[in-house]
Structure 1
């Protein structure tokens, strides 16, 4: 288990129990106590946890981890979700992508589809994104037209947010918005931990003909701080096979097409 995977596991333990000792964490993760102490010290330096004598306590009930720490979590599911979401895209479309590990997988799946780079009649895929890492993924691996919004970079997600970021989105028309979310509730809709990211996502929703929320099953039925849009605005939910039949049925009853992979 690499460092980022350990940190994810430690933060999940703290989310569930609120407190964990060095001994218990070492036993659960199968590593030495010295390794756990170093992990706790590093997480505390980043203000993700609070160190205590012999262990650590959680700083809050949920964590907005930096993107680089999320990549090991549900990776296989996210790759399948990414491929399924990318399959919804046709040549010539204008597509919006926000930031996140799952939408990064969407971008990678789009990049390996040569027919999206251009057709005989000149129909080229256009991707509008506020995520610098996704723009880079597509720029170096494809010949699509890439449009990047302005704004201030949020280091945790590599997303551009703030008042400067909205200008471009208000002046474009999108065929489809493929949006990752930190949580999606069948009543409250999709949401993000950060209000700036949610505001950018909301602008994408407003300009899109079709809205697709991309979320692994661990995020279904959950809530986060800032709502992206009402549930009525969501057309399709792409998730993984871990989503229960009851959960899927509740979203379908709300008028949402659910793709489970």
Structure 2
């Protein structure tokens, strides 16, 4: 297990339990207690946790993993989901992408589908194949160097945990565009409450993405199903399609299908 993977695992454990014990955490990631203590010290220096005498505790009651530490979780599922989403999109589409690990994989899958390395057009055409509107700085950075894409980046204030731009400036741009498809990543999906995320400012921007789009495609892995997060984005009645890994429970598929959502499992 690499250091990055080890840190991701430690932060996942912290997100679940709210605290870490040195001995137990060392066993969980298969390192010595001395190495584990150094890991915790370095994570504390980045203000990702608070060191205690016997381990560490999370910052505050609500704990959100920074995007850079979530990218290795369920990576293969997210890549399959992303490829399936790319198959649903058409050349010429205006696509909205909010931030998150799964939508980042969607951007990468689109880049591969467009063809050609950065700086070359995959189909020999001079114009862009897709227009992508995003409030995610990392997604914009990956696609901006590719001539197959016209990238529209919203304004706003950057959140360091997710690289997303939020606030009135972000909303101002989204209110002036029309999208063919909004591809949304979320932190929770509840059959009654709808789709949710951890932060209310991000929820408001994702809601705008949905409102400005002709079609809404929800992308998430099955671990988010049945879970709730703090801020509601919208109800399931606004979602047209869900692309998800095959571990989703059959009864959940049935409930979503009854609600009029096209469920695509990969």
Q: TM-score, normalised by structure 1?
A: 0.91
Question: What residue ranges of structure 2 are gaps of 5+ in the alignment?
Answer: 116-120
In the alignment, which residue of structure 2 is the partner of 1:85? 85
Alpha carbons of 1:152 and 1:117: their partners in 2 closer, same or farther (altered >3 Å)?
farther
Question: Match for 1:245 among 230, 234, 250?
Answer: 250
- Distance (Å, rounded) in 2 between the aligned partners of 1:211 and 1:57: 38
Aligned residues: 261
- Distance (Å, rounded) in 2 between the aligned partners of 1:23 and 1:136: 40
Question: Match for 2:195 among 167, 182, 190?
Answer: 190
In the alignment, which residue of structure 2 is the partner of 1:162? 167
Q: Does 1:206 align with 2:211?
A: yes
Question: What residue ranges of structure 1 are gaps of 5+ in the alignment?
Answer: none
- The alpha carbon displacement at 1:40 in A equals 2.0
- Distance (Å, rounded) in 1 between the aligned partners of 2:219 and 2:67: 16
Task: Supply the RMSD in Å over aligned alpha carbons.
Answer: 2.4
SS of residue matched to 2:234: coil
- Distance (Å, rounded) in 1 between the aligned partners of 2:52 and 2:112: 48
Superposed CA deviations along residues 87-145 of structure 1, whole A, max 9, x for unmatched, are 1110111110011111111001111223897798x784211111111112112234221
Alpha carbons of 1:117 and 1:177: their partners in 2 closer, same or farther (altered >3 Å)?
farther
Counting only pairs closer than 5 Å after superposition, residues 1-261 of structure 1 correspond to structure 2 as 1-59=1-59, 63-114=63-114, 124-261=129-266
Contact 1:92-1:118 at 8 Å conserved across structures: no
SS of residue matched to 2:38: helix
Superposed CA deviations along residues 145-197 of structure 1, whole A, max 9, x for unmatched, are 11111111111111111111111211111111001111111111111111111
SS of residue matched to 2:184: strand
SS of residue matched to 1:36: helix
Alpha carbons of 1:123 and 1:147: their partners in 2 closer, same or farther (altered >3 Å)?
closer
Alpha carbons of 1:213 and 1:199: their partners in 2 closer, same or farther (altered >3 Å)?
same
SS of residue matched to 2:144: helix
